[in-house]
A and B are shown apart, each in its own frame.
Chain A
Amino acid sequence: MIPVDYYIILSAILFTIGVLGVLVRRNALIIFMSIELMLNAANLAIVAFGSVFESFSGQIFVFFVIAVAAAEVAVGLALIVEIFRSKRSIDVDQVSSLKG
Chain B
Amino acid sequence: MHLSESVNTGFLFLAPWLVFFPVIGLLINTLFGHKFSERMIGAVASLASGAAFVVSVLLYVTVSGAHGEAMRWQLAEWMHIGTLSLDWTFRVDSLSTTMMLVVSGVGTLIHIYAIGYMHEDVRFKNDVGRFRRFFVFLNLFIAAMMVLITGDSYLMLFVGWEGVGLCSFLLVGFWYELDLLARPSWSNSFAAVKAFVANRVGDFGFLIATFIMFWAFGSLQFDKVFQQVPTVAPGVIIAITLFFLLGVTGKSAQVPLYVWLPDAMAGPTPVSALIHAATMVTAGVYLVARSAPLYSSVPEAQNIVALVGAVTALFAATIAAGQFDIKKVLAYSTISQLGFMVAAVGMGAYVAGIFHLVTHAFFKALLFLSAGSVILGMERGHHHAAHANHDNHGKGKKGKRKEERHDARAERSHSDSEGADEAHGEVFDPGDMRNMGGLRKTMPVTFWVYMAGMVALSGIPPFSGFWSKDEILLDASMHNQAAYWLLTIAAFFTAFYMGRQIWMVFFGEARHEAAARAEESPKVITVPLIILAALAVLGGALNLPFEGFHNLGHWLEATLGEVESLPLNLQVAGISTLLALLAILISWLMYARKPFAKDQTDPLASLGLFFKGMNNKWWMDELYHLLFINPYIKISYFIAEVIDWRFWHDWFHEKVIMGTYNWISFTGLNEYADQKGIDAFANGLGTWTQSLAGTLRKVQNGFVRSYALSILLGVVLILGYLIFK
* Chains A and B in contact, CB within 8 Å: yes
Which A residues are closer than 8 A to B by beta carbons? 19, 22-23, 26, 92-93, 95-100
Taking a contact as CB atoms closer than 8 A, the residue among B701, B708, B712 that contacts A99 in the complex is: B701
Known contacts A23-B709, A100-B697; decide if A92 and B704 are in contact (CB<8 Å). Answer: yes
- Top 4 nearest A-B pairs (CB, nearest first) are A99-B702, A100-B700, A96-B702, A98-B702
Specify which of B701, B705, B712 lies most central, judged by the most chain A CB atoms within 10 Å of its CB: B705
Q: Is the CB of A22 within 8 A of B708?
A: yes
| Size bin of chain B's contact surface | 10 to 19
Chain A residue contacts of B709, Cβ below 8 A: 23
B703 at the interface (CB under 8 A from A): yes
Q: Is the CB of A95 within 8 A of B704?
A: yes
Chain B residue contacts of A26, Cβ below 8 A: 705
Chain B residue contacts of A19, Cβ below 8 A: 712
Chain B residue contacts of A92, Cβ below 8 A: 703-705
Distance of A100 Cα from B701 Cα, bound (Å) = 7
Q: Which chain B residues numbered 679 to 725 have a C-beta less than 8 Å away from chain A? A: 697, 700-705, 708-709, 712
Q: Which chain B residues numbered 44 to 74 have a C-beta less than 8 Å away from chain A? A: none
Chain A residue contacts of B705, Cβ below 8 A: 22-23, 26, 92-93
Distance of A63 Cα from B262 Cα, bound (Å) = 105
Q: For chain B, what secondary structure do more than half of its interface residues adopt (helix, strand, loop), or is it mixed?
A: helix
In the complex, the chain A residue whose C-beta lies closest to that of B696 is A100
Chain B residue contacts of A22, Cβ below 8 A: 705, 708
Chain A residue contacts of B701, Cβ below 8 A: 96, 99
In the complex, the chain B residue whose C-beta lies closest to that of A92 is B704
In the complex, the chain A residue whose C-beta lies closest to that of B698 is A100
Chain A residue contacts of B712, Cβ below 8 A: 19, 23
Q: Tell me the smallest distance from the CB of B371 to a CB of chain A, in Å.
A: 92
Distance of A85 Cα from B702 Cα, bound (Å) = 20
In the complex, the chain B residue whose C-beta lies closest to that of A20 is B712
Chain B residue contacts of A23, Cβ below 8 A: 705, 708-709, 712
Supply 22 A–B pairs (Cβ within 8 Å), ascending by A: A19-B712, A22-B705, A22-B708, A23-B708, A23-B709, A23-B712, A26-B705, A92-B703, A93-B705, A95-B704, A96-B702, A96-B703, A96-B704, A97-B702, A98-B700, A98-B702, A99-B700, A99-B701, A99-B702, A99-B703, A100-B697, A100-B702
Distance of A97 Cα from B703 Cα, bound (Å) = 8
Q: Tell me the smallest distance from the CB of A70 to a CB of chain B, in Å.
A: 23
Distance of A22 Cα from B697 Cα, bound (Å) = 24
Report how many A-B pairs have Cβ atoms within 8 Å: 28
Distance of A26 Cα from B706 Cα, bound (Å) = 11
Q: Which chain B residues numbered 273 to 295 have a C-beta less than 8 Å away from chain A? A: none
Specify which of A26, A95, A96 lies most central, judged by the most chain B CB atoms within 10 Å of its CB: A96
In the complex, the chain B residue whose C-beta lies closest to that of A28 is B704
Distance of A26 Cα from B705 Cα, bound (Å) = 8
Which B residues are closer than 8 A to A by beta carbons? 697, 700-705, 708-709, 712
Distance of A19 Cα from B702 Cα, bound (Å) = 19
A22-B705, A23-B712, A99-B703 known; 4 other A-B pairs, CB under 8 Å? A23-B705, A93-B703, A93-B705, A100-B700
In the complex, the chain A residue whose C-beta lies closest to that of B707 is A98
Chain B residue contacts of A93, Cβ below 8 A: 703, 705
Distance of A38 Cα from B543 Cα, bound (Å) = 115
Distance of A76 Cα from B708 Cα, bound (Å) = 17
Q: Tell me the smallest distance from the CB of B700 to a CB of chain A, in Å.
A: 3
Distance of A29 Cα from B712 Cα, bound (Å) = 20
Distance of A19 Cα from B715 Cα, bound (Å) = 11
Distance of A19 Cα from B704 Cα, bound (Å) = 13
Q: Tell me the smallest distance from the CB of B528 to a CB of chain A, in Å.
A: 90
Distance of A23 Cα from B697 Cα, bound (Å) = 21
In the complex, the chain B residue whose C-beta lies closest to that of A26 is B705
Q: Tell me the smallest distance from the CB of B223 to a CB of chain A, in Å.
A: 86
In the complex, the chain B residue whose C-beta lies closest to that of A19 is B712
Q: Tell me the smallest distance from the CB of A32 to a CB of chain B, in Å.
A: 12
In the complex, the chain B residue whose C-beta lies closest to that of A24 is B705
In the complex, the chain B residue whose C-beta lies closest to that of A25 is B705
Q: Tell me the smallest distance from the CB of B696 to a CB of chain A, in Å.
A: 9
Distance of A97 Cα from B712 Cα, bound (Å) = 22
Chain B residue contacts of A95, Cβ below 8 A: 704
Chain A residue contacts of B708, Cβ below 8 A: 22-23
Distance of A23 Cα from B709 Cα, bound (Å) = 6
Distance of A97 Cα from B702 Cα, bound (Å) = 6
In the complex, the chain A residue whose C-beta lies closest to that of B715 is A19
Chain A residue contacts of B700, Cβ below 8 A: 98-100
Q: Tell me the smallest distance from the CB of B714 to a CB of chain A, in Å.
A: 13
Q: Tell me the smallest distance from the CB of B328 to a CB of chain A, in Å.
A: 91
Chain A residue contacts of B704, Cβ below 8 A: 92, 95-96
In the complex, the chain B residue whose C-beta lies closest to that of A98 is B702
In the complex, the chain A residue whose C-beta lies closest to that of B709 is A23
Q: Tell me the smallest distance from the CB of B195 to a CB of chain A, in Å.
A: 79
Q: Tell me the smallest distance from the CB of A26 to a CB of chain B, in Å.
A: 7
Distance of A22 Cα from B710 Cα, bound (Å) = 12
Distance of A100 Cα from B703 Cα, bound (Å) = 11
Distance of A92 Cα from B707 Cα, bound (Å) = 12
Distance of A99 Cα from B704 Cα, bound (Å) = 10
Chain A residue contacts of B703, Cβ below 8 A: 92-93, 96, 99
In the complex, the chain A residue whose C-beta lies closest to that of B703 is A96
Distance of A72 Cα from B455 Cα, bound (Å) = 113
Distance of A97 Cα from B704 Cα, bound (Å) = 10
Q: Tell me the smallest distance from the CB of B694 to a CB of chain A, in Å.
A: 11
Distance of A93 Cα from B701 Cα, bound (Å) = 10
Distance of A92 Cα from B700 Cα, bound (Å) = 15
Distance of A100 Cα from B702 Cα, bound (Å) = 7
In the complex, the chain A residue whose C-beta lies closest to that of B705 is A23
Distance of A98 Cα from B705 Cα, bound (Å) = 12
Q: Tell me the smallest distance from the CB of A16 to a CB of chain B, in Å.
A: 10
Chain B residue contacts of A97, Cβ below 8 A: 702
Q: Tell me the smallest distance from the CB of A98 to a CB of chain B, in Å.
A: 5
Q: Tell me the smallest distance from the CB of B702 to a CB of chain A, in Å.
A: 3
Chain A residue contacts of B697, Cβ below 8 A: 100
Q: Tell me the smallest distance from the CB of A25 to a CB of chain B, in Å.
A: 9
Distance of A95 Cα from B705 Cα, bound (Å) = 11
Specify which of B697, B704, B712 lies most central, judged by the most chain A CB atoms within 10 Å of its CB: B704
